[in-house]
Amino acid sequence: MPLDAQTVVALNYRRHLTRFMKMRSLLFGVCLALWAGASLPGAADAASPFHVLVYSKTLLYRHESITNGIAAIRQLGQEHGFTVDATEDSGAFTKANLAKYQAVVFLSVTGEVLDQSQKIAFQDYILNGGGLAAIHGAIFGPQACDEKWSWYGEMFCCTFTNHSSILPATVLIEDANNPSTKSLPSQWQWTDEWYNYTGTPRGCAHVLTRVDESTYSGGTVGKDHPISWCRQMGQGRMWYTAQGHKPEAFNDPLFRQHLLGGILLAAGQETGDFSPNTKPTGRMEWKRDEGSLALVQDGDVVWKFNFGKDQSKPSFHPVRIPDGPVVTGFRPKDHSWHRGLWFSWKYINGLNYWEEDPKTGLSEGRTEWQNADIEAHPDFSARIVMDLNYRPPGGQPVLTEHRVMEISAPDCIRTYRMDWAMTLTAATNVVLDRTPLPGEPNGQAWGGYAGLSARFSSDLREAQAISDKNQIECRWPLSRAGFGHGFFGRNRRQ
């Protein structure tokens, strides 16, 4: 990429780390178009008939309970004045068609059951007043529903990991005033397969019921193990129950009342409390010295920015998911110049600014900077501004960079963002290049890299990278069969 003298190139990068998928993703590259018109889905008069779409498409495991579930929802509609359309055709997810319904029921859908345009239409529908009632297998996660859709994962506030055997257990009611719980006993004896997640949705969603792990075996979430919850999403509503594995569940009068209340809540026909429960959080604090800034939670570093004189390039390491593992590695033996999360061009005017001599710790081209201007905010977000020079040995800088990094505070679903904005200015004619690709002169199988780089920790097992034109999603197994996610946003040249 040649740059003429005084040409300015603005580069924007994003890093997003979270425990589930999506992560959040979230979270990246989706533009929402507000629907015009006075009528919004879910805004119907509670006394008027309303309409529900039941979606039960499966691409992974198919629950035998789906047939009974559709029949039960149809009967509930006949008894309580709402119409029910049931489909496994994803073509139903268009803006025009979704506008007919006050709620959509995801009945144990599994796999990637919507394409990109259908996801956008459904997300718009929810955010602009529609409702989702999700049942059992429709939770976000591997072997559940659409583990690649970060917004869907954000809606659930956690990721499905695995489940127990089918066992009896005690369900404890936390909010007895919710339409989906007001008919239930305070201690509900129920037999199901009990879902485990990467963490509790408490603090992000409003918990309605939880299962007592001391009453069965196979629970891994802990004492705080929610089993149903609800959440406000924009102008819309989401309700979820993890129960409903067995076909006979949908014949049980109490479960049918639970299900009916969830549908009425999602459709906006009855009201409930959506405010997130208070979740105890670890104590956070800033640790700062002459050459670094770190956000620390209960003694563990969440992220640390290193910019001291002993560093050949500024970098972030360690970078961790709050309450989770460190995801970055630092100076591995095979590539000693890699340092967590960092930025460098591979070649500038033919000189290598990336790789370093293991004996001297220096690269052919030199990267220099002044002390960073750091704002560590009371809400545990931060802003870091730096000016860097790139110069050949003994020469004047051929390229200067103004770098701004914004790091958000960890939120209720253990997600934070790192936004990078770099403005590069050429002092003379400059050529920026990367490792040659296969088929090019001196091409390498690993060719093509230059710019923002992340080195993963060797403690992460079977890390994977899944990319599309907009982002790179990195996934790795965690303990207890959970999954972690990192979202690496696209760069943009202007």
Enumerate the β-bridge partners of residue 288.
Answer: 293
Dig out the tokens for 167 from the structure. 């066992």
Among left, alpha and beta (phi > 0; psi -120 to 50; other), residue 345 is beta
Residue-wise pLDDT tens digits, 154-202 = 899 888 989 999 999 999 999 999 999 999 999 999 999 999 998 889 8
Task: Give the separation between CA 375 and CA 309, rounded to whole angstroms.
Answer: 20
Q: What angle do CA 289, 294, 298 make, to 5 degrees?
A: 120
Q: Are 345 and 451 in contact (CB under 8 A)?
A: yes
Residues 19, 33: Cα–Cα separation, whole Å: 28
Helix count and strand count (H, E) for the chain: 5, 29
What's the burial of 392, exposed, middle or buried (CB within 10 Å: 0-12/13-18/19+)?
A: middle
Residue 33 has pLDDT above 90, yes or no: no
Whether the pLDDT of residue 96 is over 80: the answer is yes
Q: What is the pLDDT of residues 397-435, one digit of tens each?
A: 999 999 999 999 887 656 788 888 889 999 888 888 887
Partnered with residue 382 across adjacent β-strands are 376, 407
* Per-residue pLDDT tens digits for 111-128: 999 999 999 999 999 999
| Amino acid symbol at 367 | T
Fold of 50-266: Rossmann fold (3.40.50)
Could you tell me if 365 and 353 are in contact, meaning their C-beta atoms sit under 8 angstroms apart? yes
Name which of 102, 62, 55 is nearest 81 in CA terms.
Answer: 102
Which residues are paired to 106 by β-bridges? 55, 134
Q: Dihedral of CA 10/11/16/17: which sign? A: negative
145 φ, ψ (degrees, to nearest 5): -100, 120
The first and second tokens of residue 52, run together, are 């529900």
pLDDT tens, 211-236? 999 999 999 988 899 999 999 999 99
The domain spans of the chain are: 2-18+282-411+415-493, 50-266
d(CA 251, CA 246): 10
Q: For residues 452 and 313, give the distance between their C-alpha atoms in angstroms, rounded to a whole number.
A: 12
Decide if 128 contacts 46 (C-beta within 8 A).
Answer: no
